Structure 1
């Protein structure tokens, strides 16, 4: 396997892991939201904060991976995806409310389309699966 092919293979595997990680964290946040109806919020608050921080880090890792893949000419993406990637990477404050992500950076408040961002990564994986 050529060096470039190996590099692309490693990036694709990392992309799959990154998407899975983000989805697991998002599912955990949904479960916490469901548990809020049964358990007092103050009990779940610390776990929710830690989970949101984990989501921020997982999304940052995912976005850096997408950027590296683009810089290595494995993929290309739209301006909307590029803006979401940059917003997450450069954010200094990250908020998550009912599936919506809001980040704040030097440019101010920026909404991030999480579903579009994850769908983009999934489409990359699907295109690789179709090639095999």
Structure 2
């Protein structure tokens, strides 16, 4: 089943080469990845937003430059995708976050965070005009 997601690219990411996590072998937890963001350790997760409105909120708060947004159209059955963790689902959020971690929970909800484990093929990525 197709899934449409959005991502603000880091300056070092080239969508024509596909996307991968900073450290595919990291043992950083979902909770720490979301709670501490890019200020935390490198992780095996590729952070995405589930809606265009969420990526717009994210872009409004970013210091990243230049601002480049991509739309990602992946299939859950893609062999390069190991796992899709949709933190907009309340049960999934409860599975990965401590009940008292309001910072991480609120951030995951605000950003409509979906995490990808694996690699995203360039064929699935469209850079959007701003």
The answer, yes or no, to whether TM exceeds 0.5 is: no
TM-score of the superposed pair, with normalisation by structure 1: 0.27
The structure carrying a bigger strand percent of its residues is 2
Higher gyration radius (CA): 1
TM-score of the superposed pair, with normalisation by structure 2: 0.27
The structure carrying a bigger helix percent of its residues is 1
